[in-house]
Amino acid sequence: MHTYEVRILRPDGRAALITAESHWNDDAAIRSAKKIARGRQFEIWRGMDCIYGRRPLGMQYSPNLLKP
């Protein structure tokens, strides 16, 4: 099992709710987050990797750090 962090976002992109969950795979984590989000934007993180969600403009995700 993997540990995921789900961030439900406000309209301005800031986190309104952050929760940690364990799932067998990324697809299961995405399905669960969609239920929690109830139509709001959200991101799912597995460690330092954003596996689902909006990428901030001008930013590039890396397994080890977020670089401009």
pLDDT in tens, 9-21: 999 888 999 999 9
* 67 vs 58, higher pLDDT: 58
Extract the runs of DSSP E, i.e. beta strands, from 1-66. 2-9, 15-23, 42-46, 49-52
The pLDDT value recorded for residue 61 is 47
pLDDT in tens, 21-65: 999 999 999 999 999 999 999 999 999 989 998 655 444 444 444
The pLDDT value recorded for residue 55 is 56
The pLDDT value recorded for residue 26 is 95
Nearest to residue 20, comparing CAs of 1, 59, 40, 10?
A: 1
> Which CA distances in Å does 26 have to 12, 14, 20, 58, 67?
26, 23, 13, 25, 23
In a 13 Å sphere around the CA of 4, the CA atoms on its Cβ side amount to 25
